[in-house]
Structure 1
Amino acid sequence: MIDFRYHLVSLISVFLALAVGIALGAGPLEETIGETLTGQVEVLRVEKDELRAALDATENDLAASNAFADASGERMLVGALPERRVAVVVLGEVPEERLTAIDDRLAQAGADVTTVVTLAPAWTDPDAQTFRDALASPLVDLLAEPPAQDAGTEAVLADALVEALSVADPADPDAPSADAAALLDLLATGDEPLLTVQGDAGAPADALVVLAADPVVPDEESPAAETATEGVSAQLAVLDAAARLTEGVVLADGPRTADSLTTAVIGGDLAGTVTTVQRVDQVVGQVLVPLALAADIAGETGHHGYGDDLTVLPPAVELAPVDRSVEGAGTEQGEATQGDQ
């Protein structure tokens, strides 16, 4: 049985160890420990200063590159999209300055941005599926190009969106057809509008730029991740409809990741029909959008940016003017003048 003397010896041992540690730390080891800590702090300070200098240099280089791309972009884009009418479809929330930059680059290329629409959450929200299914039937009756018999609601909505933005009145190429106007009205009104229209809808578009939204990073308890995954198929349906029903389409996306829409396009059935541009959050990507759209109109589908399966620049093409007379409304010819760089 352990007696009081055992506890006393244990306590004395502990206090002796503390006393020895204090004596050594304040005496022979004090200078060594202090010098070591001081040296480590100095090394960290130097590393921090070097990293800060490197970051500043990188930011300066990036600013200079963006300034060059911005200044040269206008010269590169002149005449790329002569008299083309382009509608912009935004797949969710994007910074206003990015949308403005895309519009400005299209204008520099000679294009007229006719309409900007933003898809509302109800376009992909699982809770709105019943509403979308009910809306599909009246939409089908207004479509100029009947959908396939096995087309689902996503395909019907996508076709309706594209036709609403692109189908002209046969008697007036500068005005949407009555059915196209009705389609846009059905999609943009009601208790759960599927999209919003920025300003007034303009003339029918020849081609579309589809601007991908920034990715949403949900928390662990949020259903946003599942909803975002389900929304990809609806977004791909919009791209597919634009490729089939207009003269050209470009997906303007942000950084390419495993979950980005660009990756879904390149890895799927739309790789050969939908042109993509990544990093439109940067000036270089924004400049590429009109060039890529011109190439797509000319039949040169591609995927542009930096990385695997991507080319830096679209091929140079020269597009003939559009014939908007009643007899030849919307007809044009695109001719590639150079191969892929």
Structure 2
Amino acid sequence: MIDFRYHLVSLISVFLALAVGIVLGAGPLRENLGDQLAGQVEQLRTEQEQLRGDTEELSAKHDQLATFIAELGPELVAGTLDGKQVAVLTDDSSTRSGTERIVALLEEAGVGSAVQINLLPALWAPDAEPTRAEALQAIRSIAPAVLAEDSDAALTDSALLSAMIPMLLHGEGDGGLTPELRTQLWQVLIDHDLVTVNGEMPVAVDGVIYASAAPEELADEKEDEQVATERAQGLLTSQTALLGELAGIGIPAVVSAATPGNDASTGILRTVRGDAGFDAVSTTDRLQEADGPLLSVLALIEQTRGGSGAYGTTGDAEDRLPALPETQGLEDQAAEQNGEGGAAEPGTQPSDGGGAE
């Protein structure tokens, strides 16, 4: 049986341990621990300042390179696409400045005709299903063979209409579409507010640039969560159907996306770069930046020469620029302009697709 003496000894032990802890904590241990903690805090503060300085330096170099590249744009692309017919597709008005710059650079490259095709929300919006059904009915009465419905009955109306657009831009393998039939089909899309066309109605093109807006620009904040989810799914269905058809029929194609915050973790760029089925399509980010439109045109030039790649500054980009003779040593030139030296960066030598035509 435990008696009072056991409890007394236990209490004395507890108080003795407490007293020893107080003495040590107030004396040598406090000073030692305090010094250690103060040293660690100071080290972390120094590392943070160093990282901030490195980030600002890298950001400044990126901005300098982007400005340098953008200024050289017309000279870099001059005469590289002589006589080609190119279509620039876009899915939102927020890309206007980028697409206008792309069209201007295409003209500098010698493109014979650069038509801009604006894809409208009715092509994928949940509340536009009746409009899409009417458009499909009209198309079936004109040229049913242009639709991929028989080969994949699971395709939605949005996917069918979106996949038809590359077929209308393609000059071969289109089931014998005459220019008159093409014009009629484009007119159906226009009349149902699925697309608008700036420029001469395209007959057939040698290349396509798809300029995609940032995901937040394509959302509608007024919609509830369910409708917003349906809209996002419809948009992705439309985009993947269109780009999948482009990759399949072999038209030189580039997907150029706006990537605010240098983020490519959402939107069509993530889908295309993450799916081997789109390997034939080149991609570029930074559409909203000074050098973004030029990246798009340079990637299209490489496409017409048989090359492809993923370019820009986001984490999943393969290289900063397409490795063309026109871009060889460009980063070194930018460094020289800014008073820096250094050897050429990897990726500035010509690739398989970088040779002259």
**What band does the TM-score fall into relative to the shorter chain?**
0.5 to 0.7
Does the 8 A contact of 2:298 with 2:322 survive in 1? Answer: yes
Aligned match of 1:105: 105
Deviations 1:232-262 (A, max 9, x none): 1111111122223452111110114322211
Does the 8 A contact of 1:155 with 1:241 survive in 2? Answer: no
Instruction: Write out aligned runs for 1:234-245 (5 A).
Output: 234-245=238-249
Deviation of 1:315 after TM superposition, in Å, equals 3.6
Deviations 1:60-81 (A, max 9, x none): 7666434311222222212332
Equivalent residue for 2:158, pick from 151, 154, 170:
154
Does the 8 A contact of 1:154 with 1:234 survive in 2? Answer: yes
Aligned match of 1:83: 83
Aligned match of 2:251: 247
Pick closer, same or farther for the CA change 1:228–1:118 going to 2, 3 Å: same
Equivalent residue for 1:313, pick from 276, 299, 321:
321
Does the 8 A contact of 1:90 with 1:119 survive in 2? Answer: yes
Aligned match of 1:45: none
Deviation of 1:281 after TM superposition, in Å, equals 1.0
Deviation of 1:285 after TM superposition, in Å, equals 2.0
Match for 1:87: what amino acid? A
Aligned match of 1:178: 180
Higher helix content, 1 or 2: 2
Does the 8 A contact of 1:90 with 1:211 survive in 2? Answer: yes
Match for 1:261: what amino acid? I
Pick closer, same or farther for the CA change 1:129–1:158 going to 2, 3 Å: same
Deviations 1:92-132 (A, max 9, x none): 22243222111112222222343211111111111112331
Does the 8 A contact of 1:81 with 1:111 survive in 2? Answer: yes
Aligned match of 1:228: 232
- TM-score by structure 1 length? 0.66
Does the 8 A contact of 1:167 with 1:180 survive in 2? Answer: no
- TM-score by structure 2 length? 0.64
Q: In the alignment, is residue 270 of structure 1 matched against residue 271 of structure 2?
A: no
> Distance between the aligned counterparts of 2:63 and 2:314, measured in 1?
21
Pick closer, same or farther for the CA change 1:145–1:176 going to 2, 3 Å: closer
Pick closer, same or farther for the CA change 1:285–1:258 going to 2, 3 Å: same
Deviation of 1:287 after TM superposition, in Å, equals 1.2
Equivalent residue for 2:190, pick from 180, 184, 188:
188
Does the 8 A contact of 1:116 with 1:197 survive in 2? Answer: yes
Does the 8 A contact of 2:306 with 2:352 survive in 1? Answer: no
SS of residue in 1 equivalent to 2:160: helix
> Distance between the aligned counterparts of 2:118 and 2:151, measured in 1?
28
Aligned match of 1:15: none
Pick closer, same or farther for the CA change 1:108–1:139 going to 2, 3 Å: same
Pick closer, same or farther for the CA change 1:67–1:257 going to 2, 3 Å: closer
Pick closer, same or farther for the CA change 1:178–1:245 going to 2, 3 Å: farther
Deviations 1:121-152 (A, max 9, x none): 11111111233134324435526656252252
> Distance between the aligned counterparts of 2:67 and 2:310, measured in 1?
24
> Distance between the aligned counterparts of 1:317 and 1:167, measured in 2?
29
Deviations 1:184-241 (A, max 9, x none): 0000004xx1111224425532221111023226548644354123311111111122
Match for 2:184: what amino acid? A
Pick closer, same or farther for the CA change 1:230–1:101 going to 2, 3 Å: same
| Structure 1 unmatched ranges of 5 or more | 1-52, 319-335
Instruction: Write out aligned runs for 1:275-314 (5 A).
Output: 275-310=282-317, 311-314=319-322
Does the 8 A contact of 1:83 with 1:111 survive in 2? Answer: yes
Does the 8 A contact of 1:114 with 1:201 survive in 2? Answer: no
Pick closer, same or farther for the CA change 1:205–1:100 going to 2, 3 Å: same
Deviations 1:33-78 (A, max 9, x none): xxxxxxxxxxxxxxxxxxxx99999987666434311222222212
Match for 2:242: what amino acid? V
> Distance between the aligned counterparts of 1:317 and 1:239, measured in 2?
28
Aligned match of 2:72: 72
Which deviates the most, 54-63 or 136-145? 54-63
> Distance between the aligned counterparts of 2:209 and 2:82, measured in 1?
16
Match for 1:338: what amino acid? S
Instruction: Write out aligned runs for 1:109-148 (5 A).
Output: 109-140=109-140, 142=143, 147=148, 148=150
SS of residue in 2 equivalent to 1:130: helix
Pick closer, same or farther for the CA change 1:166–1:143 going to 2, 3 Å: farther
Percentage of matched positions with identical amino acids: 22
Which deviates the most, 140-149 or 120-129? 140-149
Aligned match of 1:338: 351
RMSD, matched Cα? 3.5
Pick closer, same or farther for the CA change 1:205–1:83 going to 2, 3 Å: same
